[in-house]
Amino acid sequence: MHSSNDHDKPKGLKARIIKDTGVNITECYQCGKCTAGCPLNEEMDIMPNQVLRMLQLELPGYEDKLLKSMSIWLCLACDMCYQRCPQEVLLSKVMDYLRQESIRQGKVNPKASDILKFHQSFLESIEKNGKLHEMGLTLSYKLKTMNLMQDISVAPAMLSKGKLSLFPHKVKNLKEIEKLFKKTSENKGGEQ
Amino acid sequence: MIIGYYPGCSLEGTSKEYSDSLFAVAEKCGINLETINDWNCCGASAAHNLNHDLAIALPARTIALAEKQGLTEIVIPCAACYSRLSQSQLEMNNHYVIKSKIETYLEMKFTGTIKLLTVIEFLEKYIFPQVDKHVVNKLNQKTACYYGCLLARPKEISSLKRSEDPMEMEEVLKIAGATPVKWAYKTECCGAGLSVSRTDIVAKLSGKILEDAVDNGAESIIVACPMCHMNLDMRRPNIKEQIKKDINIPVLFITQALGLSMGISADKLGLNKHFVPTDKAVKCIIKKEA
């Protein structure tokens, strides 16, 4: 018999992913097509099919390993895995969830810090302007990572070709954008 | 005829020539593109990586504004923006809870009936019917049509008939008098969002794409996404470092290729704005026989 407080138990990662993303990760039967087609399989520390297997088995230590992995940050969401999956498991959505969970639990792999800083600089630029200001993004990213000289050689050509603007184009109704950032951050971790 | 237009951030900045060439082609065919008033960024990779609800909400605001403006169709030339707007519209339409939540954030109604068009769909629907009158040149070169990921996947939002080996861009290029080549990398990923934070990876992936195009005899690569263009064009020095090979094949936007066949000047199409010189592709062009 089930004990009466089964419902109150905190849900494991597998159950949370299924509930919050709607992706049924138990469907995967390990054919490996996702890994075979992944453009970044050479770079990943946990292969795409292994990510799913570890989530299914939920053995001790697996959750930590996944949340601290590089794979979740390298995934480009190109959806080649989903395209070829005979069980139609939408792995890119699971990867999105794992990244956000990794941040929530403070387990981001230190080697992924530049990738995370780039995404953060990008969102800061949108929050401030409503549109991406490429020059502002570049400066903010350089300051965050201290990669000050990176891509400096393409800057003059970009400017002379009129591809970089010094000042941001802004959305007129910026209050609406600010509200979207505020509201979606308050409810983070809720139902997806 | 008026069609709605969502430029996205790249087309107002680093890929201005994509927008210029689209407008030049549309103007030639008597089609007016009406920009969505006060549109905002789609959120790109950053939003869906870090904040699921924001990734739905940002595009939803733009779509709701377009609906308010009375637009029924929008062309979204950037494949990445197209993907984000389509994903947002799909989730809003399929999940009532998400939709009502986002609508309260937006303080706007979202009906979700607007038709979102990729640049390829736009060309097929509005340019093809009258293309015969306007095409005066033959591109007269072998081209590799590169779709990348976001035009081909996921299937729920892709407009292409064959996701592993699509042929829609090839049809456009045939009309423009080019000879599309068969090659293996047309729907492989260029590395997209990691261009700045992991340039090494992008150079490796983009290098493989360039190599395969050249190995199959292509003289130019045709793209329909500003991210793909930037990685295949601007990242050439990084690619050289990775694959130890100097590849100088030019990369053109599909609208530039079609524009050239319509006799629009290379300047107006922004062909001088690329990093890899495009004159080799322009020199091949011959007058179409009457």
pLDDT tens readout for residues B39-77: 999 999 999 999 999 999 999 999 999 999 999 999 999
Question: In this predicted structure, what is the pLDDT of residue B289?
Answer: 83
CA B146 to chain centre: 10
Question: In this predicted structure, what is the pLDDT of residue A192?
Answer: 41
Residue B46 has its nearest CB partner, among A100, A123, A181, at A123
Question: In this predicted structure, what is the pLDDT of residue A191?
Answer: 40
Residues of B in contact with A138 (CB under 8 A): 196
Higher pLDDT, A11 or B228: B228
CA distance B176 to chain A (A): 27
CB contacts under 8 A, B 65-94 vs A, are: none
Question: In this predicted structure, what is the pLDDT of residue A165?
Answer: 81
Residue A99 has its nearest CB partner, among B49, B98, B155, at B49
Report the pLDDT averaged over residues B21-35.
Answer: 97
End-to-end CA gap in chain B: 29
How is residue A94 written in tokens? 């699971």
Q: Is A179 on the interface with B (CB under 8 A)?
A: yes
How many angstroms separate the CA atoms of A114 and A87, rounded? 34
Query: Residues B18-32, buried b or exposed e (16+ Cβ, 10 A)?
Result: bbbbbbbbbebbebe
Considering chain B, what is the average pLDDT of its residues? 96
CB contacts under 8 A, A 110-139 vs B, are: 114-115, 117-120, 122-123, 126, 130-132, 134, 138
- Comparing alpha-carbon positions, the chain A residue that sits nearest to B162 is A83
Look up tokens 């969830």; give the residue: A97
The answer to whether B28 touches B261, Cβ cutoff 8 Å, is no
How many angstroms separate the CA atoms of B227 and A77, rounded? 14
Q: Which of A19, A73, A83, A20 is nearest to A51 (CA)?
A: A73
Question: A180, A183, A187, A192: best mutation site toward chain B, by most B Cβ within 10 Å?
Answer: A180
Q: Is A103 on the interface with B (CB under 8 A)?
A: yes
ipTM (interface pTM): 0.93
Decide if A76 and B97 are in contact by the 8 Å CB cutoff: no
Q: Which of A79, A85, A47, A61 is nearest to A13 (CA)?
A: A61
Domains of chain A: 4-108 (1.10.1060.10), 111-186 (no CATH)
B221 φ, ψ (degrees, to nearest 5): -110, 135
Tens of pLDDT along chain A (192 residues) come to 454 455 666 789 999 999 999 999 999 999 999 999 999 999 999 999 999 999 999 999 999 999 999 999 999 999 999 999 999 999 999 999 999 999 999 999 999 999 999 999 999 999 999 999 888 888 888 888 888 888 888 888 888 888 888 888 899 999 999 999 999 998 654 444
Give me the CATH code for the B135-287 domain, please: 3.40.50.11810
* Residue ranges covered by each domain of chain B: 2-119, 135-287
Decide if A80 and B153 are in contact by the 8 Å CB cutoff: yes
Taking CA atoms, B131 is separated from B33, B77, B145, B246, in Å, by 18, 19, 19, 37
How many angstroms separate the CA atoms of A38 and B107, rounded? 40
Question: In this predicted structure, what is the pLDDT of residue A142?
Answer: 86
- Dihedral (C-alpha) B135, B139, B140, B143: value to the nearest 10 degrees? -130
Compute the radius of gyration of chain B from its Cα atoms.
19
Residues of B in contact with A100 (CB under 8 A): 50-52
Question: B12, B15, B17, B51: best mutation site toward chain A, by most A Cβ within 10 Å?
Answer: B51
How many angstroms separate the CA atoms of A113 and A111, rounded? 5
Q: Which of A36, A9, A110, A115 is nearest to B202 (CA)?
A: A115
3-state secondary structure chain B: CEEEECCHHHHCCCCHHHHHHHHHHHHHCCCEEEECCCCCCCCHHHHHHHCHHHHHHHHHHHHHHHHHCCCCEEECCCHHHHHHHHHHHHHHHHCHHHHHHHHHHHCCCCCCCCEEECHHHHHHHHHHHHHHHHCCEECCCEEEECCCCCCCCCCCCCCCCCCCCCCHHHHHHHHCCCEECCCCCCCCCCCHHHCCCCHHHHHHHHHHHHHHHHHCCCCEEEECCHHHHHHHHCCHHHHHHHHCCCCCCCEEEHHHHHHHHCCCCCCCCCHHHCCCCCHHHHHCCEECCC
Residues of A in contact with B196 (CB under 8 A): 118, 138, 141, 150-151
**The pTM is what?**
0.94
Fill in the DSSP letter of residue A51: H
How is residue B115 written in tokens? 């038709």
Question: In this predicted structure, what is the pLDDT of residue A134?
Answer: 85
The answer to whether B48 touches A77, Cβ cutoff 8 Å, is yes
How is residue A87 written in tokens? 């069980």
Residue A179 has its nearest CB partner, among B105, B154, B196, at B105
The answer to whether A168 touches A128, Cβ cutoff 8 Å, is yes
CA distance A60 to chain B (A): 26
* Contacts (Cβ under 8 Å, ≥6 apart) of B282: B260, B266, B271
CB contacts under 8 A, B 131-150 vs A, are: 149-150
Give me the CATH code for the B2-119 domain, please: 1.20.1050.140
Look up tokens 């390993």; give the residue: A65
Decide if B57 and A183 are in contact by the 8 Å CB cutoff: yes
* pLDDT above 80 for B26: yes
Residues of A in contact with B48 (CB under 8 A): 77, 96
Compute the radius of gyration of chain A from its Cα atoms.
20
**Which percentage of chain B shows pLDDT scores above 70?**
100
Q: What is the pLDDT of residues A104-159, one digit of tens each?
A: 999 999 999 999 999 999 999 999 999 998 888 888 888 888 888 888 888 888 88
Question: In this predicted structure, what is the pLDDT of residue A1?
Answer: 46
